[in-house]
């Protein structure tokens, strides 16, 4: 019985293609910062990524102006990933449209599940439960996971490596992302967001979720901060960062745009 109800619900969702994309009125919005500050002493680096360094190359006293030299990978700290990050022939950061970086957002709270199981993978049932409580996820949305990982930033617990050097953090299951794609909640554009390193669970070295996500003009929003300030529904996210030639993404300042009321 439960399976048939689930299939029926899925069929209805696919037919409807998710909730209507909400209207955007900048005059009715306030901004919150969803990004970490990058600091060489505290910034958590994905295993194998380049070291992040800052060095002063000009000072007010000697040069009349202050300037730092920044060395980092494109995915250092809070960042967005572009489709070419995982799929050949897909757009780079410099080939995305501005509309790809401004998306209606929903926040799915899996802090309790993630505390119990650092390898927790969000299921289709989790998404159905969310929609029963909060309404349909909009089409072409940013679906953001709030795992609580942001509290571990700048400590070894953020990478959460085991004795074999394997990383453990929560993410989306491939089945959940397939459902988001099939029903249009992730469409031509859209995003998966998370306060961890990746929308994939840390143990998935095949990056199955990323391979599905990074196509067309869809992006990821990773290592987000201050997610307690993003509403469950009704908000938007805006990602801004340098657009390097055929960039795989960019270190970003990600803003949440919240209704003033």
User: Tokens 């119990």 map to which residue?
Assistant: 116
The verdict on residue 137 lying in a domain is yes
Residue 14 has pLDDT above 70, yes or no: no
The verdict on residue 57 lying in a domain is no
C-alpha dist (Å) from residue 207 to 86, 138, 202, 213: 9, 25, 9, 10
Mean per-residue pLDDT of the chain: 92
Q: How many domains does the chain have?
A: 1
**pLDDT at position 230:** 97
User: Tokens 């070295």 map to which residue?
Assistant: 205
**Distance (Å, rounded) from C-alpha 138 to C-alpha 234?**
10
**pLDDT at position 149:** 98
The verdict on residue 14 lying in a domain is no
Instruction: Give, rounded to a whole angstrom, the gap between the first and last alpha carbons of the chain.
Output: 41
The verdict on residue 4 lying in a domain is no
Q: What is the mean pLDDT of residues 60-85?
A: 98
The verdict on residue 121 lying in a domain is yes
**pLDDT at position 19:** 81
The verdict on residue 190 lying in a domain is yes
Rounded to 5°, the CA angle 128-186-91 comes to 160
Please state which of the ranges 4-18, 54-68, 187-201 shows the lowest mean pLDDT.
Answer: 4-18
The fraction of the chain above a pLDDT of 70, given in percent, is: 92
Condensed to tens digits (0 to 9), the pLDDT of residues 181-217 reads 999 999 999 999 999 999 999 999 999 999 999 999 9
Indicate the burial class of 144 (C-beta count within 10 angstroms; 0-12, 13-18, 19 or more): buried
- Structural domain span for residue 206: 27-36+74-259
Domain with residue 155: its CATH number is 3.50.30.50
Q: What is the mean pLDDT of residues 220-241?
A: 96
Residue 1 has pLDDT above 50, yes or no: no
pLDDT confidence band for 259 (50 / 70 / 90): confident
pTM of the model: 0.90
The verdict on residue 85 lying in a domain is yes
Contact 243, 21 (CB under 8 A): no
The verdict on residue 173 lying in a domain is yes
- Which pairs from 6-15 meet CB under 8 Å and 24+ separation? 6/124, 6/125, 6/128, 9/128, 10/124, 10/128, 10/179, 10/183, 13/131, 13/136, 13/179, 13/183, 14/182, 14/183, 14/184
DSSP structure string for 80-125: EE-GGGTSTTS--GGGS-GGGGEEEEEEEE-HHHHHH-TT-EE-HH
């Amino acid at each position: 019985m439960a399976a048939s109800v689930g299939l029926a619900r899925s069929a209805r969702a696919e037919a409807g293609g998710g909730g209507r994309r909400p209207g955007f009125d900048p005059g009715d919005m306030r901004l919150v910062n969803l990004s970490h500050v990058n600091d060489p002493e505290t910034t958590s680096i994905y295993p194998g990524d380049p070291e992040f360094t800052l060095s002063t190359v000009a000072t007010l006293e000697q040069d009349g102006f202050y300037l730092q030299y920044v060395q980092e990978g494109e995915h250092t700290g809070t960042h967005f990933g572009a489709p070419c990050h995982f799929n050949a022939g897909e757009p780079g950061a410099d080939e995305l449209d501005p509309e790809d970086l401004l998306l209606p957002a929903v926040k799915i709270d899996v802090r309790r599940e993630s505390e119990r199981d650092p390898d927790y993978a969000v299921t289709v049932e989790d998404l159905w439960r969310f929609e029963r409580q909060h309404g349909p996820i909009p089409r072409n949305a940013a679906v953001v996971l709030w795992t609580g990982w942001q509290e571990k930033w700048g400590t070894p617990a953020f990478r959460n490596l085991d004795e074999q050097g394997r990383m453990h953090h929560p993410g989306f299951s491939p089945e959940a992302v397939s459902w988001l794609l099939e029903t249009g909640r992730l469409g031509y554009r859209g995003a998966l967001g998370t306060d961890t390193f990746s929308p994939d669970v840390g143990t998935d070295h095949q990056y199955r979720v990323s391979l599905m996500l990074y196509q067309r003009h869809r992006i990821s929003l990773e290592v987000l901060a201050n997610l307690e300030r993003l509403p469950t529904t009704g908000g938007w996210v805006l990602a801004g960062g340098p657009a390097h030639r055929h960039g795989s993404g960019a270190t970003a300042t990600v803003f949440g745009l919240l209704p003033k009321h």
